[in-house]
């Protein structure tokens, strides 16, 4: 038995113990019941912070999977150095997504992670139809979103585990965006596509970039003015009106391309 191509599993550093790893919970279930791996199979264990460790499954139990690391630690009993995973973008992309209806956010999270987003921030906006007012329901949703992000990161070969923020109000999202180097907001009335191109190219040079996307009903004029007053740059994504689940991915893809083209 050998290494299955592109099989990556994210693990917490507390699960990496010297020259072995003990995987429980979702990681154990994914290995046993989804991937149907067996003792002797090899895989790559990722610490979620950009390092990976080649490992081989030694035992699959009812509550845990035990792997041993194929690289020896430089000091006996210590975690080996591992290898740097180079699949991350040179800059941090944060998607501020107006909460859409039904399960659209699950699809958006999956695709945003594939495109390289470092964090997805669900935002309650004026025209948001969905209202998550029950803390227990919100916690359950957040757990579900985090699981989708983890699975997408493993499937797409990410080196770092993307973050899913709790739902924020629009003003809270703007405050969070203020900690980033650069922010933009696609807006259907933005018409200067040459200027939009310049904004995207400038964003690609930054270490951290936020992208604001409205819900199905779009952003209100008041929200737009709040964003502009906070230094968020309006951009056009073309002559067509894009759905909320399309607009963020289009913007992410444009910035991702420019970032990687400059490497």
Per residue in 8-59, pLDDT tens?
899 888 888 878 899 988 888 889 988 899 999 999 999 888 889 999 999 9
Q: What is the mean pLDDT of residues 210-226?
A: 94
Query: Which bin fits 238, alpha (ψ -120 to 50), beta or left (φ > 0)?
Result: left
Tell me how far apart the alpha carbons of residues 18 and 14 are, in angstroms, rounded to a whole number: 10
Instruction: Count how many residues are written for the chain.
Output: 263
So what's the pLDDT on residue 73?
56
Domains and CATH numbers, the chain: 3-84 (2.40.240.20), 92-261 (3.40.1280.10)
pLDDT at 118 over 90: yes
205 Cβ contact list (under 8 Å, min separation 6) = 262
CA distance 10 to 161: 7
118 vs 71, residue with greater confidence? 118
Q: State the pLDDT at residue 74.
A: 52
Confidence band of 121 (pLDDT split at 50, 70, 90): very high
What average pLDDT score do residues 197-201 get? 93
pLDDT(98) > 50: yes
- Both structure tokens of 68: 């041993």
Rounded CA gap, 92 and 90, in Å?
A: 7
Percentage of the chain exceeding pLDDT 70: 93
């Amino acid at each position: 038995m050998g290494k299955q191509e592109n099989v990556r599993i994210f693990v917490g550093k507390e699960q990496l113990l010297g020259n072995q790893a003990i995987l429980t919970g979702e990681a154990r279930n994914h290995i046993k019941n989804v991937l149907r791996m067996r003792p002797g199979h090899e895989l790559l264990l990722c610490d979620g912070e950009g390092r990976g460790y080649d490992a081989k499954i030694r035992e699959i139990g009812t509550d845990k999977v035990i792997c041993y690391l194929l690289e020896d630690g430089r000091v006996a009993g210590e975690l080996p150095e591992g290898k740097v995973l180079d699949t991350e973008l040179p800059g941090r992309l944060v998607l501020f997504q107006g909460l859409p209806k039904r399960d659209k956010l699950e699809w958006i999270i999956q695709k945003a992670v594939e495109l390289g987003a470092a964090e997805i921030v669900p935002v309650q906006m004026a025209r948001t139809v969905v209202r998550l007012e029950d803390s227990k329901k919100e916690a359950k949703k957040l757990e579900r979103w985090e699981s989708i992000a983890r699975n997408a990161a493993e499937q797409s070969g990410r080196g770092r585990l993307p973050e899913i923020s709790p739902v924020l109000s629009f003003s809270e999202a703007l405050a969070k965006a203020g900690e980033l180097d650069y922010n933009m907001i696609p807006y259907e009335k933005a018409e200067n596509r040459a200027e939009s191109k310049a904004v995207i190219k400038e964003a690609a040079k930054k270490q951290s970039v936020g992208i604001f996307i409205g819900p199905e009903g779009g952003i209100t004029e008041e929200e737009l003015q709040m964003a502009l007053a906070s230094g968020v740059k309006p951009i056009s994504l073309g002559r067509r009106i894009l759905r909320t689940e399309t607009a963020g991915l289009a913007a992410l893809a444009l910035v991702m391309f420019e970032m990687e083209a400059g490497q």
